[in-house]
């Protein structure tokens, strides 16, 4: 079915997914360029809806925030992310309204768009707490996960409501593959959480070599006790990180081990899909393997080339694509179960 022939609610869900991916990339760019505190307040910036630029505006900003001088470049990065995130919120609101207006249409989903609306409101709160709690790692990681969940649920809604892979093809019974796909989805979510924890604790460069951590030292000293303390002290500025080197190394190495586990597991899942009798599943299996290897290459490049900004941002974006691929795999393999869901 051509995209223009699909119901408006499905088209809004599709374009909202693409826009959510853009917001994710902008959020990663803001965080990785150390602009997360470019504006010390929320939702505005130094008490206004754009960045202070005139002499009078800069004077008022200095009086209101004497300890945080205006850095226009960082502030604009932060505000652009907020503008785009706000636009995404409006798209999701329109999706919920359109879904409600179609409530009499057989098969129209209502619970999922309502849940998305609640999720994006919670995302706004996490965005506020990211600033007011001074980029506390647990909050920033939760904000990243919330963005990933928002994108994945938008895509799932489009898949369910629009039947984007419309086909008369009856998929063969694949009991084991269905459960493997669910396991793969959970592993991807866990690895994204570990990646967020690595980034927000500034542990991406705790190791500078690959496959070992340091030249001649494959398994250095690590402090696991300090590495995974979720609830940190309040009122402390976490920009730049506050963990000791051994704790950061522990976080980095756990993320690496998770990547190895994910490579083996999803590689096996992709191989099983490519051996299917279904051309659709074989194609999805090839796509999964391609995205997986791209993500692995970006992760290794982050280490070997000292975290280039564009590579780190791409690593976040491809993680989202990997998540969407797993959502698609689960949708295709579990359509009968999905039909029973509201």
Cβ-contact 312, 204 below 8 angstroms: yes
Q: How many other β-carbons are positioned within 10 Å of the β-carbon of residue 275?
A: 11
Question: Please, what is the Cα angle at 166 between 161 and 169, to 5 degrees?
Answer: 135
Catalytically annotated residue among 78, 239, 336, 339? 78
Burial class, 136, CB count within 10 angstroms (exposed 0-12 / middle 13-18 / buried 19+): buried
Active site residue 338: no
CA–CA distance, 6 with 162 (Å, rounded to integer): 7
Q: How many other β-carbons are positioned within 10 Å of the β-carbon of residue 54?
A: 8
Q: Shortest CA distance to 255 belongs to which of 315, 327, 306?
A: 315
Burial class, 5, CB count within 10 angstroms (exposed 0-12 / middle 13-18 / buried 19+): exposed
If phi over 0 gives left and psi between -120 and 50 gives alpha, with beta otherwise, what is residue 71? beta
CA–CA distance, 3 with 157 (Å, rounded to integer): 15
The residues annotated with a catalytic role in the active site are: 78
């Amino acid at each position: 079915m051509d995209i223009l022939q699909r119901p408006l609610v499905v088209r809004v869900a599709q374009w909202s997914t693409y826009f959510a991916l853009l917001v994710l990339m902008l959020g990663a760019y803001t965080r990785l360029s150390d602009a997360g505190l470019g504006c010390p307040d929320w939702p505005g910036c130094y008490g206004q809806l754009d960045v202070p630029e005139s002499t009078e505006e800069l004077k008022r900003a200095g009086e209101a925030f004497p300890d945080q001088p205006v850095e226009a470049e960082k502030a604009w990065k932060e505000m652009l992310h907020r503008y785009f995130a706000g636009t995404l919120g409006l798209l999701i609101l329109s999706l919920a309204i359109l879904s409600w207006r179609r409530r009499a249409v057989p098969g129209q989903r209502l619970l999922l768009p309502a849940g998305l609306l609640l999720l994006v409101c919670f995302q706004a709160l996490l965005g506020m707490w990211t600033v007011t709690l001074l980029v506390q790692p647990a909050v920033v990681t939760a904000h990243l996960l919330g963005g990933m969940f928002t994108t994945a649920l938008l895509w799932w809604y489009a898949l369910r409501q629009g039947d984007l892979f419309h086909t008369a093809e009856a998929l063969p019974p694949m009991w084991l593959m269905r459960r493997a796909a669910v396991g793969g989805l959970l592993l991807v979510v866990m690895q994204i959480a570990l990646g967020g924890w690595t980034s927000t604790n500034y542990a991406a460069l705790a190791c500078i070599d690959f496959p070992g951590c340091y030249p001649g030292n494959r398994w250095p000293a690590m402090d696991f006790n300090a590495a995974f303390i979720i609830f940190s002290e309040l009122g402390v500025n976490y920009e730049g990180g506050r963990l000791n080197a051994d704790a950061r190394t522990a976080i980095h190495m756990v993320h690496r081990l998770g990547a190895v586990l994910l490579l083996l597991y999803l590689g096996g899942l992709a191989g099983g899909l490519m051996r299917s009798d279904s051309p659709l599943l074989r194609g999805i299996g090839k796509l999964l393997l391609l995205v997986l290897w791209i993500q692995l290459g970006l992760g290794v490049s982050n280490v070997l080339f000292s975290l280039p900004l564009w590579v780190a941002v791409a690593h976040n974006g491809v993680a989202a694509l990997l998540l969407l691929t797993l959502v698609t795999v689960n949708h295709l393999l579990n359509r009968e179960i999905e039909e029973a869901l509201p």
